[in-house]
Each structure stands twice: as C-alpha cells, then as structure tokens.
C-alpha cells in the first residue's frame, strides 16, 4: 500500500467511448503526475500538477484531458482514443512543489487500458 490509489485497475474501451481514470493520494502531497507505460518504451511523463495547477504538459494529444480538482485527486479523461493508446497509466504523487523538488515519487498500481 503506497498511499496512492488508482481506479479502475483495468479498463477496456472502444475508440468512440468516453471514460475517466481516477487517482487519489492519502499522503498529503502537493504534486501529482500521470505517466504512460507502454511495452518496450520508457515511462513517459504526461502531466504534472502542483497545488492543483498544471505545470507540465508533455505534448500529450488532446484526447487525453487531465483534471485536478484538489491536491488529493487527479483524473485523466479519455475520449476518442486510438489502439496505440493502450498502455498502463500510472499516477504518482510527491511532496514538493514549485520546482524545488527532489523528485521522490510515490506510485499507484496503475490502470491497464485497452483500446479496441
């Protein structure tokens, strides 16, 4: 138990569906992250939120839409995805903000997404 909970653990969706991934952290951290983990590729940073403001968006297609309503919750809204978007989506949190961080991340167990 890392203190970061992701739901659902598994999701299968068609290319025309709209779904959301949810992440909740119980660690009192200030920053939250979405990473994408595909087979045979490094983990790709998608989004970073610090104190509920998006501070990084790594050229992610607009079919992925993040939302951070408070420092404990992070969502990834999905719509009109492509089969190549199938991957493990990992949420993480950390204590630091404002670029002063040491980068120690606490990860959830991930949401395995399959796009048909």
Partner 1 sequence: AQSVTQPDIHITVSEGASLELRCNYSYGATPYLFWYVQSPGQGLQLLLKYFSGDTLVQGIKGFEAEFKRSQSSFNLRKPSVHWSDAAEYFCAVVYSGYALNFGKGTSLLVTP
Which residues lie near partner 1 (CB under 8 A)?
Answer: 2, 4, 6, 31, 33, 40-43, 45, 48, 50, 55-56, 90, 92, 94, 96, 98-110
Q: Select 14 or 28, whichever has its Cβ closest to partner 1.
A: 28
Least distance (Å) between residue 42 CB and partner 1 = 5
Least distance (Å) between residue 91 CB and partner 1 = 8
CB–CB of 9/76 below 8 Å?
A: no
Q: Select 71 or 94, whichever has its Cβ closest to partner 1.
A: 94
Q: Select 10 or 77, whichever has its Cβ closest to partner 1.
A: 10
Spatial separation of the C-alpha atoms in residues 95 and 8, rounded to whole Å: 24
For residue 39, what are the contacts with CB-CB under 8 A and spacing of at least 6?
A: 87
What are the DSSP E strand ranges found in 1-116? 4-7, 10-13, 18-25, 31-37, 44-50, 53-57, 64-70, 73-79, 87-94, 106-107, 111-115
Least distance (Å) between residue 113 CB and partner 1 = 14
């Amino acid at each position: 138990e890392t203190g970061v909970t992701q739901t659902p653990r598994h999701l299968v969706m068609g290319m025309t569906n709209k779904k959301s991934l949810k992440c909740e952290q119980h660690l009192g951290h200030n920053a939250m992250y979405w990473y994408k983990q595909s087979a045979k590729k490094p983990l790709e940073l998608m989004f970073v939120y610090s104190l509920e403001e998006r501070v990084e968006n790594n050229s992610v297609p607009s079919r992925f839409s993040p939302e951070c309503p408070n420092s404990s919750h992070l969502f990834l809204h999905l719509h009109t995805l492509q089969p190549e978007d199938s991957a493990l989506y990992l949420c993480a949190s950390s204590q630091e903000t404002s670029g002063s961080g040491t980068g120690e991340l606490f990860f959830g167990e991930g949401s395995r997404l399959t796009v048909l």
